[in-house]
């Protein structure tokens, strides 16, 4: 077997291990329900409140409605047990006794979980599209769907790689997930308060927090492309933080690179075969 084949074996193993955990399925179902309920309610709104131009762009709201919360929670859940569960169950010793390098093992675990997250994001994106067509009729500008989807996938790297790092450093699934969610929650709260403070400095500071780039990139891209339908409900269904798309893209890349590098350094320099107590 070559390197790609060995990575693929670990990747497939990671898929089967993660899917065996019911939380991934439960959160995915909740994300779909979260998308469906507002759409069902809005579909009953009189035409005077939702003119044709608004109805024809409802797919944007559907695709982005769960991105700022449920997608991030699913990313945290998948990554939180990825590395740590192997220590807790003592399977890291078995896996690394096979003819595989540590880099191959780490790559298989990272990309296995991330591709599973991409599958969940595909499900939520398709759900938003289907609901838009079924409840609001023909949609416009749907050729931008792949671009928005790529932005959602790319933005989810922040909290996925962060929690993946916690999973390796802490080597406890629950601790890693709590740490990832704690950073998400604190960053969200602090960022909100900073936006209310006077002065450009605080606004710029809020954009350095991980939640800003992770949640604002897809929305900012949709705004730049003039895809958002007009209406009073838009701010209530999507995360309202927006900003420069290029800045968000760079910040995501920096965060991801730092978290992955720290994970790799911890993994290759520590005793990975010792079962966690």
Condensed to tens digits (0 to 9), the pLDDT of residues 20-63 reads 777 778 878 888 887 787 777 777 766 556 667 777 888 888 88
Q: Is residue 107 part of a domain?
A: yes
Q: Is residue 273 part of a domain?
A: no
Residue range(s) defining the domain that contains residue 182: 3-268
- pLDDT over 70 (residue 221): yes
Q: How far is CA 256 from CA 15, 90, 162, 229, 240, in A?
A: 21, 28, 7, 32, 23
What are 171-178's contacts with CB under 8 Å, separation 24+?
Answer: 171/83, 171/84, 171/87, 171/88, 171/276, 172/84, 172/88, 172/276, 173/80, 173/81, 173/84, 173/85, 173/88, 174/80, 175/84, 176/79, 176/80, 176/81, 176/84, 177/76, 177/77, 177/80, 177/81
Q: Is residue 188 part of a domain?
A: yes
Q: Is residue 31 part of a domain?
A: yes
Q: Is residue 44 part of a domain?
A: yes
Confidence band of 232 (pLDDT split at 50, 70, 90): very low
Lowest mean pLDDT among 136-145, 228-237, 254-263: 228-237
Q: How far is CA 5 from CA 13, 95, 248, in A?
A: 12, 15, 34
Q: Is residue 277 part of a domain?
A: no
Query: 0.85 cut: is pTM over it?
Result: yes
Q: How far is CA 103 from CA 75, 106, 107, 116, 187, in A?
A: 22, 5, 6, 20, 31
Report the number of distinct structural domains present in the chain. Answer: 1
pLDDT at 237: 46
pLDDT digits (tens, 9 = 90+) for 128-167: 888 888 888 888 889 999 999 999 999 999 999 999 999 9
Q: Is residue 90 part of a domain?
A: yes
- What single DSSP character describes residue 264? H
Mean pLDDT score, 116-130: 90
């Amino acid at each position: 077997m070559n390197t790609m084949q060995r990575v693929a074996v670990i990747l497939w193993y990671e898929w089967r291990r993660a899917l065996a955990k019911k939380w991934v399925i439960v959160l995915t179902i909740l994300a779909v329900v979260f998308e469906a309920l507002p759409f069902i309610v809005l579909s009953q709104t009189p035409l005077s409140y939702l003119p044709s131009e608004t109805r024809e762009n409802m797919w944007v709201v559907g695709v982005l409605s769960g991105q700022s919360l449920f997608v991030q929670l699913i990313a945290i859940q998948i990554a939180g047990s990825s590395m740590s569960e192997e220590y807790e169950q003592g399977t890291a010793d078995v896996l690394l006794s096979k003819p595989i390098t540590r880099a191959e093992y780490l790559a298989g675990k990272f990309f296995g979980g991330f591709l599973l997250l991409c599958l969940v994001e595909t499900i939520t994106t398709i759900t938003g599209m289907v609901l838009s067509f079924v409840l609001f009729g023909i949609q416009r500008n749907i050729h931008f769907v792949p671009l928005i989807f790529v932005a959602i996938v790319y933005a989810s790297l922040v909290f996925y790689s962060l929690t993946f790092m916690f999973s390796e450093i802490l080597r406890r699934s629950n601790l890693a997930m709590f740490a990832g969610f704690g950073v998400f929650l604190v960053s969200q709260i602090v960022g909100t308060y900073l936006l209310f403070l006077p002065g450009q400095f605080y606004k710029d500071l809020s954009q350095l927090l991980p939640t800003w780039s992770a949640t604002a990139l897809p929305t900012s891209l949709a705004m730049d492309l003039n895809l958002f339908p007009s209406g009073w409900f838009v701010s209530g269904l999507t995360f309202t933080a927006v900003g420069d798309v290029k800045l968000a893209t760079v910040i995501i890349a920096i965060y991801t690179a730092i978290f992955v590098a720290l994970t790799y350094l911890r993994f290759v320099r520590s005793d990975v075969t010792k079962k966690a107590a």
